[in-house]
Structure 1
Amino acid sequence: MLRDALDRPLTDGFIVHGTDVETRWESDVPAVTPIDRFFVRNHTRPPVVDAGLWRLLLTGDGLYQDTTLSLADLRDLSPVTEELALECTGNGRHYFDRQQGTPRPGTQWETGAIGVARWTGVPLARVLRRVGLRPDAVSVMAVGLDDPYVEDGVDHGRVRRPLPIQKALDDVLVCWEMNGEPLPPDHGFPVRLVVPGWVGIASIKWLGELRVTRRPEPSPWNTRWYRMHGEGWHGEEAVLGRMPVKSLVDTLEPVPAGRPVVLRGRAWSGEAAIAGVELSTDGGASWRAARLVGQNRASCWTAWEAEVVFDRAGEHCLVTRAVDTDGRTQPDVSPDNDQGYLFSAPIRQSLTVAGCAD
């Protein structure tokens, strides 16, 4: 068994990117991703925190007074459990090069920097109102407890990122369980944010502080990084929040020619459910509608399936495209940007079709 620099056990279900790992999509991803197959993206080492001594500090002029809450205090605020996707902002970065010929720096995620878990915690809105939220608060800065992030000798401080108050009061969770178990160290023990439908960096791990302010407060994680840079990006268009709509074929094991086969996959979108999925088996020359299967909720993924008969043996190029309930679709070409964020164009996948022996 392999172990990376953080002494994390790995399995064949992962692609290793240094100290980050992504789920191998072709290994039949379950509807709810097991913890030991959930992707990991950390800027620094997970901190060692005693859950009994941990406290959440709530500060800022957007509150009537500073407050600290223990894990027991949070548990007293009527916990909820939600099945939600969490996706790295750079998921699919590899395809800027592979499909669009514009390689971008950073972890070369393919498609597996996403997972769906059952998160247990309390709505952030409930926490803020419990401690006394001023009506003119506009921003909530979530700050982690991990070591300060140092790049090229520059100390950028602890990982932190602001949320607009509208999102903070909508559906954000302060979580301490993942799939019914305490959060593992790599996933934010003892407490983290989960920000449904938004870029993964917004879901700050190892949560230690929430600074609530009456003016927007920037951080390097929404100005220097995790913001669109490059030609054509400026102002609010460059701000990264909501994730785009995406879709994929689940498994790509060889299938026979001349016989009906059922292809299956998933589609998902930030802050919306899926309205429809189309499948092409000829590289996008023609399309057929797929059937949505099972649950279909916002900020989660939904399964789809389509029955297909391949008329010839050989390699076939599969492509899927989805539309969400807000009318957003996958673009033919993903908008370019210097850091390779938010790749959302249909991904071309190869399927081997074998000759049918009668």
Structure 2
Amino acid sequence: MDDEVRIPDEGTPAPDAPAPDAPAPDAPPPDPGRAAAGEAPGPVPGIVKPLPAEWFVPRGTNAETRWDAFRDADGDPVIGRHVPVERFFVRNHTSTPLIDPDTWRLKLFGSGLRGAPTAERPVEFGLDDLRELPSTRISALIECAGNGRSFYRSQQGQPVPGTPWTLGGVGSASWRGVRLAEVLRAAGLTGAAVDVLPAGLDPDYVVGGTNYGPVRRPLPIAKALDDVLLAYEMNGEPLTPDHGAPARLVVPGWVGIASIKWVGGVEVADHPLYSPWNTDFYRMFGPDHPPGGGDPLTTQVVKSAFELAAGARLAAGREHRLHGRSWSGSAAVRRVEVSTDGGRTWRRAELRDEPQADGWTRWSVAWRPERPGPYELRARATDDRGDTQPERAVFNREGYLFGAVVAHPVTVV
């Protein structure tokens, strides 16, 4: 049946600690000797699917979706509510493993399960076992916590390490699978459970001589039992390797690191759990944050993007329809404003979708520039909680959660 539907580590990492979105620029790449057997090389190291230049911008071990690829040469949409799998951005800490779905097992263990099964003797589920549980289909965004990071440097003059994403580290898809709550209960969840720690089957993340192990990050039990999906399909088809096959988590509204790909083990504990991804990484450090770092990141911030290449050339003396999308990790977007004069004046954009949480809102606005020259477009959104994109994002050392209004240059000819 388908339904639609920690105390943080007080030790601040060393100043040169790498942001986990990518090895720091002067750090060696992850040790290829740690790659899992069966991995396939790709145009970007470790990515399996093709990455046409008209759709993607390579970013180290990652691939960012180009926003101008959302429309064709005539301005007609080619990406609707959901991004096709072949155009969906790729976020890898190391490389994509190829896992046999027939032999894959999800292993659950820990003190929060009845009988406290161990990692050596876990409760196991195969893919067929998951398919026998009640299925759920959701529409949800996945967004890297560092999406927009490059604008800390380019707009605010604040260099940060890590992958220099613009705004293409995000995508929306239809996901089908089984609610994590269903799996936890089937495994013998007890009322003493506090944290759930899913771990991926990707190669260990090794950088700067430190092996951080496979990607893993705890979820509080309340979130795990709320809306988290253990997905095995994306846009109506089985998951592909780059996007987490055979199964992955989808954690609506939260930063992408929570949506563990290639999930193979889940520890369920009656006490708080930790990993580098909620202690050293994916927390806010800097002068405007607590001395030991902020809490582990959870929800995303409000953002907007134009479906137009930066530096695009537009004809003077004719009307153009500017298109874009806005989204928030906390609530549906209810208002979008657009400026064509660098933020001096603003106009309300026409919303093309019924706003909803866990998805983006498409919008458009007409613009007729009469004089040739450089122009700066801006878009800012407000969500149902009243959160509006600011003119400047609060700095943090790793460049997470850039939500300020982005200056989008174009030239009128």
**Would the TM-score normalized by the shorter structure come out above 0.5?**
yes
The interval holding the TM-score normalised by the smaller chain is over 0.9
Normalising by structure 1, we get a TM-score of: 0.94
Q: CA deviation at 1:224?
A: 0.7
Q: 355, 367, 389: which one pairs with 1:330?
A: 389
Q: How does 1:1-358 map to 2 (within 5 A)?
A: 3-6=43-46, 8=48, 9-12=50-53, 13-28=55-70, 30-31=79-80, 32-65=82-115, 66=117, 67-234=123-290, 237-252=294-309, 253-354=312-413
**Letter of the 1:246 counterpart:** K
CA distance in 1, matches of 2:351, 2:294: 32
The number of residues matched between the two structures is 353
**Letter of the 2:301 counterpart:** P
**Letter of the 2:286 counterpart:** G
CA contact (8 A) 1:257 1:309 kept: yes
When the two chains are superposed, the root-mean-square deviation of aligned CA atoms in Å is 1.7
Counterpart in the other structure of 2:6: none
Q: CA deviation at 1:297?
A: 1.8
SS at match of 2:218: strand
**Letter of the 1:4 counterpart:** V
Q: Percent identity?
A: 48
Q: CA deviation at 1:236?
A: 8.2
Structure 1 residues 337 and 169, CA, compared in 2 at 3 Å: closer, same or farther? same
SS at match of 2:266: strand
CA contact (8 A) 1:229 1:238 kept: no
CA distance in 2, matches of 1:156, 1:297: 37
CA contact (8 A) 2:200 2:262 kept: yes
Q: CA deviation at 1:353?
A: 2.3
Q: CA deviation at 1:39?
A: 1.1
1:146-191 deviations in Å (ceiling 9; x for gaps): 2222222222222100011121111110011111222111111111
Counterpart in the other structure of 2:39: none
Structure 1 residues 328 and 119, CA, compared in 2 at 3 Å: closer, same or farther? same
CA distance in 2, matches of 1:7, 1:346: 31
**Letter of the 1:256 counterpart:** A
CA contact (8 A) 2:88 2:171 kept: yes
Q: CA deviation at 1:325?
A: 1.0
CA contact (8 A) 1:196 1:271 kept: no
CA contact (8 A) 1:119 1:175 kept: yes
Normalising by structure 2, we get a TM-score of: 0.82
**Letter of the 2:163 counterpart:** T
Where do 4+ consecutive residues of structure 1 move more than 4 Å? none
Which is further off, 100-109 or 122-131?
122-131
CA distance in 2, matches of 1:312, 1:46: 49
Structure 1 residues 7 and 77, CA, compared in 2 at 3 Å: closer, same or farther? closer
CA distance in 2, matches of 1:183, 1:233: 38
Q: CA deviation at 1:245?
A: 0.7
**Letter of the 1:175 counterpart:** A
Which structure 2 residue ranges, 5 or more long, are not aligned?
1-41, 72-78, 118-122
CA distance in 1, matches of 2:331, 2:261: 24
CA distance in 1, matches of 2:209, 2:369: 56
CA distance in 2, matches of 1:64, 1:292: 49
Counterpart in the other structure of 2:25: none
Q: CA deviation at 1:237?
A: 4.1
Structure 1 residues 70 and 238, CA, compared in 2 at 3 Å: closer, same or farther? same
Q: CA deviation at 1:118?
A: 1.3
CA distance in 2, matches of 1:343, 1:138: 30
CA contact (8 A) 2:288 2:395 kept: no
CA distance in 2, matches of 1:93, 1:111: 8
Which is further off, 334-343 or 151-160?
151-160
Which structure 1 residue ranges, 5 or more long, are not aligned?
none
CA contact (8 A) 1:87 1:199 kept: yes
CA contact (8 A) 1:141 1:162 kept: yes
SS at match of 2:330: coil
SS at match of 1:161: coil
CA contact (8 A) 1:57 1:68 kept: yes
**Letter of the 1:5 counterpart:** P
Question: Which structure shows the higher strand fraction?
Answer: 1
CA contact (8 A) 2:283 2:293 kept: no
